[in-house]
Amino acid sequence: MGRKVQGNLVIIGGAEDKREDKVILREVVRLAGGRNAKVAVVAVAAEDQEHLGSEYENIFRELGVAGVGVVHVNSRRDASLQANVAEIAGATGVFFTGGDQLRITSLMGGTELDRELHRAYERGVVIAGTSAGASAMTDTMIVEGDQEDAPRNLAIRMAPGMGLLEEVVVDQHFAQRGRIGRLMLAVAQNPYILGVGIDEDTAVVVDAQARFKVIGSGTVTVIDGTSLEHSSVSERELNQPVAIIGATVHVLAPGYGFDLASRLPLPPHGAVTAAR
């Protein structure tokens, strides 16, 4: 990775458990300071921000967090309101809901709220996001693309994300929506970018040493394009099937991890696996 991770990230594949053990959301609270946490719920990705913001506010309160605020952003002007900026400035944890990841970047990008978010990240505040909120964490994000299909040329559209995690692209609802083809294509188009596909009710927790661990009930698929021997992505016509040869694929269960700097998987006891 070109730049080390600066703080804590919890990147969730969507549809996390909100009613029973709440393993992932409990981890967000723990990292944010437990009962002393101050969580800012940012619902900018959602069209119905009132409903989704209130839902997560109630969940975090049920988990023992007294200090919960909801940030509503329906315009770029909202992203410069002092009240919204203050919510981020005073938070020990920031949580991005699902929705449309382009709403996050188009409404927040380059605003005072965006700058305050990055300042919070740099001082170690935990930043969490689910579904669209997960996709927007990285410097490049998938915003549209065919799923449940083999990789086809130009079948995806990508855009700049929030840039909290560099040289990584995240896809969510991964196994449930059959998205391995489009993540493969994203990596084939940008082989230096690490593809991370996160199942529903599953998350990666990224630490300041640029390592992540898998928590939740599903798996995380990591596609490393640095070993790529050949792809036909630049040769095929629009919507034609693409050949991808030599990419390295890891499937990580809960308890396993990954070193983003060395691009090596980590078994549950934490020792780095042998180099390829």
Which positions are catalytic?
131, 173, 200
| Contact indicator for 244, 231 with CB cutoff of 8 Å | yes
**Alpha-carbon span 29 to 93, nearest angstrom:** 8
First to last CA, the chain: 18
The distance of Cα 267 from the centroid of its chain, to the nearest Å, equals: 22
Q: On the CB side of 238, how many CA atoms lie within 13 Å of its CA?
A: 1
Give the CA radius of gyration of the chain: 18
Of the candidates 221, 40, 243, 88, the residue with the CA atom closest to the CA atom of residue 151: 243
For 122, residues 6+ apart whose C-beta sits below 8 A from its C-beta are 6, 7
Q: Are strands 126-130 and 9-12 parallel, antiparallel or unpaired?
A: parallel
**Alpha-carbon span 157 to 146, nearest angstrom:** 10
